[in-house]
Amino acid sequence: MILIDYPEKSQWQELLKRPVMNTESLFGTVQGIIDRVKAGGDEAVLQYEMQFDKVSLSALAVSSEEFDEAENLIDEELKAAIRLAAGNISAFHAAQRFVGKKVETQPGVTCWQKAVPIEKVGLYIPGGTAPLFSTVLMLAVPACIAGCREIVLCTPPGKDGKVHPAVLFAARVAGVQRVFKAGGVQAIAAMAYGTESIPKVYKIFGPGNQYVTAAKQLVSLRDVAIDMPAGPSEVEVLADVTANPVFVAADLLSQAEHGVDSQAVLITTSKELQQAVKDEVERQLDLLPRKEIAARSLANSKLIVVKDMEEAVEMTNAYAPEHLIVETENYMAVAEQIVNAGSVFLGTLTPESAGDYASGTNHTLPTNGYAKAYSGVSLDSFIRKMTFQEIKPEGLCKIGPAIEVMAANESLDGHKNAVSVRLDAVRRDK
């Protein structure tokens, strides 16, 4: 890891840069795959599964027998863990239900909002080096709570043509029944435009590699909504001299093992902690099965010492991390000053892993500094808010003349007339 001591503010922007994810360079290749799936449907998806995932499939849909088989393959300990996590995620997201309130803005003018679910949503679960069954829960549980009528899940199969059993078990626990064996760009295209097997959806959720990210960006330009911009995963630990270097090192490494382009950052007010964490990272790294991936990720990672906690908080808000762990003596007071972060973990006993799996918060979060403007996935991600209004005669008389004046001054006489004819009718009826 890179050690940096007391950087000047003029250096912060360069210092806090993420590993570059240049999806624009992939747009030509990705658009070609999207166009072929759009035109060729299932046949194109099956061909790309053979080309990219090296698997020959006779059908894309996961059968009920495959769901049953998957459940029998999962040991009871993992089943219990998945059920516990699903319960906590459900409890946290169910508490986010929107309750609309009718507001009388003027006597006789009533306005209100109503939350309605997005009818059709697509969930993408990557394959690769680790089966992300936890992401199934993070996306499917709030989708079900929101009341989405159709929930479609796509994930790449293994070389045996089957979906990882933990992914299928998590889908069943969460309430998802329609799972398809499709990965990468072809899965995003299939959900964006529909095929003979895979339904078209209105919004696509889920992480993925740079090709998946590029595909989501392209289809979102005009055809379907997406959850948020995405980049490599990241964590920051904000710590003082009271922090436990063993815990801090473990948190940094838990992020580094995600992928070679992940980033882990320590911002601390303690030079002693910086050195202790460096030593501890090196010791713990040797114990990780995914040591090679974590080691490459650490090349993007930094241990930064700043002069005081005020500067540490300012640098943190400038970085806007996806995950932020605050391990300081007065962590609640420090947390009050944090305004830019995806999800915040407070105190010595709250690792990022808790939010990744089972505390109840969502782990689908804005990366690459997007936490300055985007929220992580929540129940709101799966709903839309529609506004309603009702105007009675008294209300029209109250606000009608103002509407006429405003419309006339914008030279929109049709707008003015729509009010004028009603006002005339109301006045005649008096």
Q: pLDDT, tens digit, for every residue of 373-402?
A: 999 999 999 999 999 999 999 999 999 999
- Residue pair 346/335 in contact (Cβ under 8 Å)? The answer is yes
Least confident range from 8-12, 120-124, 261-265, 316-320: namely: 261-265
Considering the candidates 280, 323, 327, 404, report the single residue annotated as catalytic.
323
Are 155 and 212 part of one and the same domain? yes
| Annotated binding-site residue? 317 | no
Residue 234 scores a pLDDT above 80: yes
| Annotated binding-site residue? 329 | no
Residues making up the chain, counted from first to last: 430
Alpha carbon distance 36, 42 (integer Å) = 10
Are 105 and 169 part of one and the same domain? yes
Q: What is the pLDDT of residue 289?
A: 87
| Annotated binding-site residue? 124 | yes
Residue 20 scores a pLDDT above 80: no
Q: What is the pLDDT of residue 341?
A: 98
- Residue pair 281/288 in contact (Cβ under 8 Å)? The answer is no
Using the 8-state DSSP alphabet, how is residue 260 labeled? T
Using the 8-state DSSP alphabet, how is residue 144 labeled? H
| Annotated binding-site residue? 323 | yes
Please give the residue range of the domain that contains residue 164: 23-226
Are 85 and 98 part of one and the same domain? yes
Question: In the block, which residue shows the tokens 């010492």?
Answer: 305
- For residue 77, is it within any domain? yes
- For residue 369, is it within any domain? no
Which residues make Cβ contacts (< 8 Å) with residue 340, sequence separation at least 6? 316, 317, 318, 319, 320, 371, 372
Considering the candidates 257, 322, 327, 404, report the single residue annotated as catalytic.
322
- Annotated catalytic, 65? no
Are 189 and 304 part of one and the same domain? no
| Annotated binding-site residue? 217 | no
pLDDT in tens, 158-170: 999 999 999 999 9
Which residues make Cβ contacts (< 8 Å) with residue 152, sequence separation at least 6? 120, 121, 122, 123, 178, 180, 191, 198, 199, 201
pLDDT band at 129 (very low <50, low <70, confident <90, very high): low
- Annotated catalytic, 322? yes
Comparing CA positions, the residue from 209, 246, 247, 207 lying closest to residue 228 is: 207
Are 302 and 349 part of one and the same domain? yes
| Annotated binding-site residue? 415 | yes
Q: What is the pLDDT of residue 293?
A: 86
- For residue 192, is it within any domain? yes
- Number of domain units in the chain: 3
Are 245 and 215 part of one and the same domain? no
CATH code at position 130: 3.40.50.1980
- For residue 372, is it within any domain? no
Question: What mean pLDDT comes out for the span 107-116?
Answer: 98
Using the 8-state DSSP alphabet, how is residue 177 labeled? -
Least confident range from 151-165, 246-260, 309-323, 388-402: namely: 246-260
